[in-house]
Chain A
Amino acid sequence: EIVLTQSPGTLSLSPGERATLSCRASQSVSSSYLAWYQQKPGQAPRLLIYGASSRATGIPDRFSGSGSGTDFTLTISRLEPEDFAVYYCQQYGSSPVAFGQGTKLEIK
């Protein structure tokens, strides 16, 4: 069973800055089957990235994903006010699918 560890737990940044969020897997994730989701308070998660680097429909290009094997990164190039939220990674390369514990991106 793959365990995903996200870091940092909380990231404090200002609008306009660059955000780099990490997701590390306990074993290699097959075929880079890794997704990223954004969740705002009181809302459902929203798919941002799948296949480690493919943006979901309607996701702005300031969001990008990268990585392979055990190390994956979500980068937000220039933070907009609406980007402050909790971000989760999820692996679907092996059973059972699993989520990381989340990174909270907060306004500094």
Chain B
Amino acid sequence: EVQLVESGGGLVQPGGSLRLSCAASGFTFSSYWMSWVRQAPGKGLEWVANIKQDGSEKYYVDSVKGRFTISRDNAKNSLYLQMNSLRAEDTAVYYCARDLMTGSGLNWFDPWGQGTLVTVSS
């Protein structure tokens, strides 16, 4: 069974940092692009970042560029999101998702993890 399990969420003060992890199983992790997608409380979905199979390409939504860093460890079947300089507007459930790609490198998502809640508040 394909499974993604996130961890690392919690309460952090504005300006603080947090590192999210996603453990993958049931598929060849190193063969897929992977993404982080977030959902603010009561709101819709927003793609945050994705990373190529070997980590050589990374893309971010404008609102997190320079603050968030996506990475992966294929030996550990794990995806990470390092979040620095956190703001109240970063408060959301963060989902790890496997990318399915078009030939032009754009993506849809299947499956998704259960999510981990990040709350940025003083």
Residues on A close to B: CB < 8 A?
31, 33, 35, 37, 43-47, 50, 56, 88, 90, 92-102
Name the one of A31, A43, A45 contacting B45, with C-beta atoms under 8 angstroms. A45
**Contact yes or no, A44 B112, CB < 8 A:** yes
CB-CB contacts of B38-68 with A at 8 A, as 1s and 0s?
0000001111000000000000010000000
B29 within 8 A of A: no
Please give me the 8 A-B residue pairs with the lowest Cβ-Cβ distance, nearest first.
Answer: A47-B110, A44-B112, A92-B106, A99-B45, A35-B108, A101-B44, A92-B108, A97-B47
The verdict on B111 contacting chain A, using a C-beta distance below 8 Å, is yes
Q: Classify the secondary structure of A's interface with B.
A: loop
* Residue total for B at the interface (Cβ-Cβ under 8 A): 18
Q: Which of B50-88 contact A (CB under 8 A)?
A: 61
B109 within 8 A of A: yes
User: Of B106, B109, B111, B113, which contacts A93 at CB under 8 A?
Assistant: B106
If A96-B61, A99-B46 touch, whether A31 touches B112 (CB-CB below 8 Å) is no
Distance of A96 Cα from B105 Cα, bound (Å)? 11
Given contacts A44-B114, A90-B108, A95-B106, 17 further A-B contacts (CB under 8 A): A35-B108, A37-B45, A43-B114, A44-B111, A44-B112, A45-B112, A47-B111, A56-B110, A88-B44, A88-B45, A90-B45, A90-B109, A92-B106, A96-B61, A97-B106, A97-B108, A101-B44
